[in-house]
Amino acid sequence: MNDCLFCKIIKGEIPSSEVFSNENVYAFKDLHPMAKIHNLFIHREHSHDINAMSKTSPEQVVDVYKAILKWTQDEKLDSSGFRVVTNCGPDAGQTVFHTHFHVLAGEKLGRFGK
C-alpha cells in the first residue's frame, strides 16, 4: 500500500533496524521501545489489522508466528520468555494500520491491562 509507513519500511524507503527477515515476514526494532527488547514483526503483504488479516489471509498469521518462533529460538528467548501483543482499533491504541506484532522481552515484564 503506497501510503503505509510499514510498507515503506519493507520497501526500504524508510530506514529501520532489521532483526529478522524471510520471504514472508520482516521484523525490526520499535522506535520507542517499551522493554529492553521490543521488536515489531510484520507480514510483507499489507493488511489493516489482525482481524482483517485473520479474515482474509489466516495463513499470514501462521507465517508471522513461525517467524517469531524462529527468532525467539535463535535468540534463546524461548526459555526466558517473551510477550506478543497486537493492538487492534482505537480502544487498544493502534496507531499504525499495517498489522504488526509487538515482541517484548529481555527483562521481567509488568502485568498488562489499563
Residue 30 binds ligand AMP (CB under 6 A): yes
Q: Which of 46, 98, 100, 102 is catalytic?
A: 100
Residue 32 binds ligand AMP (CB under 6 A): yes
Is 61 or 96 the residue whose CB approaches ligand AMP more closely? 96
Helix segments in 15-85, DSSP class H:
50-56, 58-74, 77-80
- What x/- string results for residues 71 through 100 when contact with ligand AMP is judged by CB under 6 A? ----------------x-----xxxx----
Residue 37 binds ligand AMP (CB under 6 A): no
Contact positions with Zn ion (CB under 5 A) in 24-43: none
Q: What's the closest the beta carbon of residue 84 comes to ligand AMP, in angstroms?
A: 12
What is the 3 state secondary structure string of 73-113? Answer: HHCCHHHHCEEEECCCCHHHCCCCCCCEEEEEECCCCCCCC
* C-alpha span between 24 and 2 (Å, rounded): 18
* Active site positions, annotated: 100
Residues that bind ligand AMP (CB under 6 A): 5, 14, 16, 30-32, 40, 87, 93-96
